[in-house]
């Protein structure tokens, strides 16, 4: 199995605080990888490092290697190109205060696509892939801020997909959503992994067990265990993993 | 969340423990009834089988509730799912104790002490196997569970011994043909009880290790 992302001996400091400790993990291509662990264990920090969202954070120092398709994320990529290849979806839906259409067209436009026909196609395609085209096709010119939370989140996924990334990082994408919207996003993830690779941070153990192929468990900045999801949830190797997923702490 | 779950697990353990005692008693009483030709006792065992059946249903229901309400994972999932499997074999053991008692009802005084001795050893060994199974499950003791498979070999050997003794009896004594066949049936039931006890021990091993008969089932 091919690993689209490899992380080798990664350490991350926020000033004196070591938030990631010698992380070694791979993210397999066309799979969903779940990152789980108690609050503050460094899940978001790790996701952000893959996307270089920490570049502007004062006092943040990163050592070790982050590779995307074998190339060093910090040395071999221009950050704009990296962010085109690696999209990110956040916990709180954050649509731009503009129309549905402009939200989705935003990325492609910044990458130089101008022709209306091309943009129309991209917008329709991205909204389709995010399973929200039918709901929004008659409201493309309306403000994105008027959508429901679940719709906003799928719009944000569409916005991320519009630049045709290879990897989609999702940081608790469903934690602010109702069960139906959550289910839609989970089904969507299942569908999207055919074309994309997904890394999903979640506090929802059931969600991790339901949709991910691989699960990585983090604790206090360390990766404790990473294995096939069925293994982690039926027969974890590490006691700490067992204690966490069975709800004994965290 | 976890507290309620622990309480439910403890209840489950208690019920399994009780069912384990019920079936060990059933085997013990069945061999006693056979030894003493106590038809009353045999009837009691047959009646008591419905209690064992009821216990099985109760444990199944508890497991399904646990799965539904707690969606357990890891060691918790293995404990609940193996309990669900174990009770099926435990219930069958109860049936066989009743089957043996049915035969006791129609038997006359047993003429063959050697056969009876073998049957008593089979009863004793299978009871011990079940005791080990239950203790292994409750205290998550892998060594104890592993011993059960070896003990099933003892039961199988005893069955072969009974068969030889019965073959001899048939040759020596043509008049008691029907009785020896009944005794062969009883031996076969004990042999099956041994198999069920081994099955139970395999689920105990799964509960502890995640491996069932050398294979990963999940
Ligand atoms: N910009 C920052 N400056 C200093 N410390 C930070 C910064 N961002 C995160 N941290 C610290 O790093 C640790 C890991 O934080 P992170 O946000 O990665 O955790 P998390 O696993 O995503 O937690 P949660 O589940 O609550 O989102 C925490 O102790 C946090 O306080
Ligand atoms: Mg976070």
Are A4 and A69 in contact by the 8 Å Cβ rule? The answer is yes
User: Residue A147 pLDDT > 90, yes or no?
Assistant: yes
* Nearest beta carbon to residue B77 from set A206, A234, A248: A234
- A184 Cβ neighbours under 8 A, 6+ residues apart: A131, A150, A154
ipTM above 0.90, yes or no: no
B216 contacts on A by Cβ (under 8 Å): 235
A212-232 pLDDT per residue, tens: 999 999 999 999 999 999 999
Distance A201 CA to ligand 2 centre (A): 7
What is the structure's pLDDT at B215? Answer: 86
User: Residue A102 pLDDT > 90, yes or no?
Assistant: yes
Residue B190: which of B108, B119, B104, B101 has the closest Cα?
B119
Q: Hey, what long-range contacts does A55-61 have (CB within 8 A, 24 or more apart)?
A: A55/A79, A57/A14, A59/A13, A59/A14, A59/A15, A60/A12, A60/A13, A60/A14, A61/A12, A61/A13
- Is A246 an 8 Å CB contact of chain B? yes
What is the structure's pLDDT at A66? Answer: 98
Domain positions in chain B: 2-216
- A32 Cβ neighbours under 8 A, 6+ residues apart: A189, A190, A193, A198, A199, A200, A211, A212, A213, A214
Instruction: Return the higher-pLDDT residue of B201 and A250.
Output: B201
Asked if A235 and B5 come within 8 Å (Cβ–Cβ), the reply is no
What is the structure's pLDDT at B1? Answer: 63
Read off the pLDDT of each residue in A131-160 and give the average, rounded to a whole number.
Answer: 95
What is the structure's pLDDT at B172? Answer: 83
What is the structure's pLDDT at B108? Answer: 87
Residue B82: which of B140, B144, B6 has the closest Cα?
B140
A235 contacts on B by Cβ (under 8 Å): 74, 78, 210, 216, 218
Read off the pLDDT of each residue in A121-138 and give the average, rounded to a whole number.
Answer: 95
**Alpha helix positions (H), chain B:** 2-36, 39-70, 74-106, 113-139, 142-172, 177-209
Ligand nearest to the CA of A42: 1
**What pTM value is reported for the model?**
0.87
Coil, strand, or helix at residue A34? strand
Are A11 and A66 in contact by the 8 Å Cβ rule? The answer is no
Distance B75 CA to ligand 2 centre (A): 27
CA distance A28 to A2: 6
CA distance B66 to B61: 9
A57-84 pLDDT per residue, tens: 999 999 999 999 999 999 999 999 999 9
Asked if B78 and A242 come within 8 Å (Cβ–Cβ), the reply is no
CA distance B129 to B204: 12
Domain positions in chain A: 3-245
What is the structure's pLDDT at B148? Answer: 97
Any idea which architecture B2-216 has in CATH?
Up-down Bundle (1.20)
Asked if A246 and B218 come within 8 Å (Cβ–Cβ), the reply is no
**CATH fold of A3-245:** Rossmann fold (3.40.50)
Which stretches does DSSP call E strand in A80-196?
Answer: 86-89, 167-171
Are A47 and A41 in contact by the 8 Å Cβ rule? The answer is no
Instruction: Return the higher-pLDDT residue of B128 and A191.
Output: B128
A78-91 pLDDT per residue, tens: 999 999 999 999 99
CA dist list (Å): A131 to A105, A147, A187, B2: 17, 14, 9, 37
Asked if A230 and B74 come within 8 Å (Cβ–Cβ), the reply is no
Distance A2 CA to ligand 2 centre (A): 27
When mean pLDDT is compared across A23-32, A135-144, B176-185, the lowest value belongs to B176-185
What is the structure's pLDDT at A249? Answer: 80
> How confident is the prediction for chain A on average, in pLDDT?
95
Which residues crowd ion ligand 2, with CB under 5 Å?
A 44
Low pLDDT (below 50) residues in chain B: none
């Amino acid at each position: 199995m091919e690993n689209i992302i490899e992380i080798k001996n990664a350490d991350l400091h926020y000033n004196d605080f070591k938030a990631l400790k010698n992380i070694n993990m791979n993210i397999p291509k066309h799979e969903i990888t779940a990152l789980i662990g108690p609050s503050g264990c460094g899940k978001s920090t790790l996701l952000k490092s893959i996307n270089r969202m920490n570049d502007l954070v004062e006092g943040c120092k990163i050592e070790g290697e982050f590779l995307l398709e074998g190339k060093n994320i910090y040395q071999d990529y221009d950050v704009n190109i990296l962010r085109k290849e690696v999209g990110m979806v956040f916990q709180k839906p954050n649509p731009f205060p503009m129309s549905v259409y402009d939200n989705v067209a935003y990325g492609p436009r910044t990458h130089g696509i101008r022709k209306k026909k091309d943009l129309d196609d991209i917008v329709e395609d991205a909204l389709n892939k995010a399973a929200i085209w039918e709901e929004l096709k008659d409201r493309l010119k309306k403000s994105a801020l008027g959508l429901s939370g679940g719709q906003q989140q799928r719009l944000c996924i569409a916005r991320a997909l519009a630049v045709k990334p290879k990897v989609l990082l999702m940081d608790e994408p469903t934690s602010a959503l109702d069960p139906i919207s959550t289910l839609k996003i989970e089904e969507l993830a299942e569908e999207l992994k055919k074309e994309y690779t997904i890394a999903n941070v979640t506090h929802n153990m059931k969600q991790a067990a339901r949709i991910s192929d691989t699960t990585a468990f983090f604790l206090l900045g360390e990766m404790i265990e990473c294995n096939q999801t069925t293994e982690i949830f039926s027969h974890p190797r590490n006691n700490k993993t067992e204690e966490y997923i069975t709800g004994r702490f965290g | 969340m976890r507290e309620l779950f622990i309480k439910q697990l403890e209840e489950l353990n208690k019920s399994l423990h009780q069912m384990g005692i019920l079936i060990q008693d059933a085997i013990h009483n069945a061999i006693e009834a056979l030894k003493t030709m106590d038809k009353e006792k045999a009837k009691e065992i047959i009646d008591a089988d419905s209690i064992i059946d009821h216990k099985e249903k109760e444990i199944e229901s508890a497991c399904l509730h646990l799965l539904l309400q707690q969606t357990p994972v890891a060691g918790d999932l293995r404990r609940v799912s193996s309990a669900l499997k174990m009770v099926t074999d435990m219930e069958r053991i109860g049936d066989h104790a009743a089957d043996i008692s049915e035969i006791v009802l129609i038997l006359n005084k047993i003429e063959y002490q050697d056969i009876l001795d073998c049957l008593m050893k089979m009863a004793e060994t299978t009871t011990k196997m079940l005791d080990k199974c239950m203790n292994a499950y409750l205290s998550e003791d892998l060594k104890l569970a592993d011993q059960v498979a070896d003990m099933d070999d003892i039961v199988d050997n005893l069955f072969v011994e009974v068969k030889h003794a019965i073959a001899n009896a048939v040759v020596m004594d043509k008049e008691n043909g029907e009785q020896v066949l009944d005794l062969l049936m009883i031996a076969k039931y004990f042999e099956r009880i041994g198999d069920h006890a081994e099955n139970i021990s395999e689920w105990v091993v799964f509960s502890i290790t995640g491996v069932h008969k050398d294979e990963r089932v999940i």
